[in-house]
Amino acid sequence: MRNRNYRLGVINGWFGSIGDTCLNSGIVLAPLASQLGASNTLVGLIPALMSCGYSLPQLFVAGKVRERPLKLPIYKSSAWLRSSAFLLLVTASVLVTLWSSRYKVGESLAPPRQGQRMTRELYCHHGWAPC
């Protein structure tokens, strides 16, 4: 039983580390917000807000967990919740990618291909050139 718990704890930590890396505010979220058109101030605040918000839930839960004699059930339920949320995020990402490639979402917003004749009005309409 002890070895099983140890292995499950290591696997849980490994998946948590991978999930934290994929959601790293400096690597993923700040460039994404920049590409989506967020202001430079907001892009600069994202890593600070993420690091402050990471500890915020502990402030609300710590007092209630401290009073309980058994803390492992709370840890297990939060681990399952976190793992389920990451699995749902990955599933949604794959489904959106498959759906957008099937229905060619965003193709009309793509820049013109080589050899296509584009007029200034079309460039202005899509926002590719200042008008």
Which span out of 43-52, 59-68, 96-105 was modeled with the highest average pLDDT?
A: 59-68
Predicted structure pTM score? 0.49
Which tokens belong to 98?
């498959």
Residue 125 is predicted with a pLDDT of 60
Summary mean pLDDT of the chain: 76
Percent of the chain with pLDDT over 90: 1
Q: What is the pLDDT of residue 60?
A: 84
Structure confidence at residue 19 (pLDDT)? 75
Distance CA 118, CA 110 (A): 13
Q: Which has the closest alpha carbon to 109: 125, 131, 130? A: 125
The mean per-residue pLDDT over the stretch 29-36 comes to 79
CA dihedral over 118, 124, 128, 131, signed as positive or negative: positive
Each domain of the chain, given as residue ranges in start order, spans: 1-67, 72-131
> CB within 8 A of 71, min separation 6: which ones?
65
Q: Residue 49 to residues 45, 56, 84: CA-CA distances in angstroms?
A: 6, 10, 24
Tell whether the model's pLDDT for residue 115 goes beyond 60: no
Alpha-carbon torsion, ordered 37, 38, 41, 45, to 10 deg: -130
Burial 63-96 (b: 16+ CB within 10 A, else e): eeeeeeeeeeeeeeeebeeeeeebeeeeeeeeee
Grade residue 95 by pLDDT with cuts at 50, 70 and 90. Answer: confident
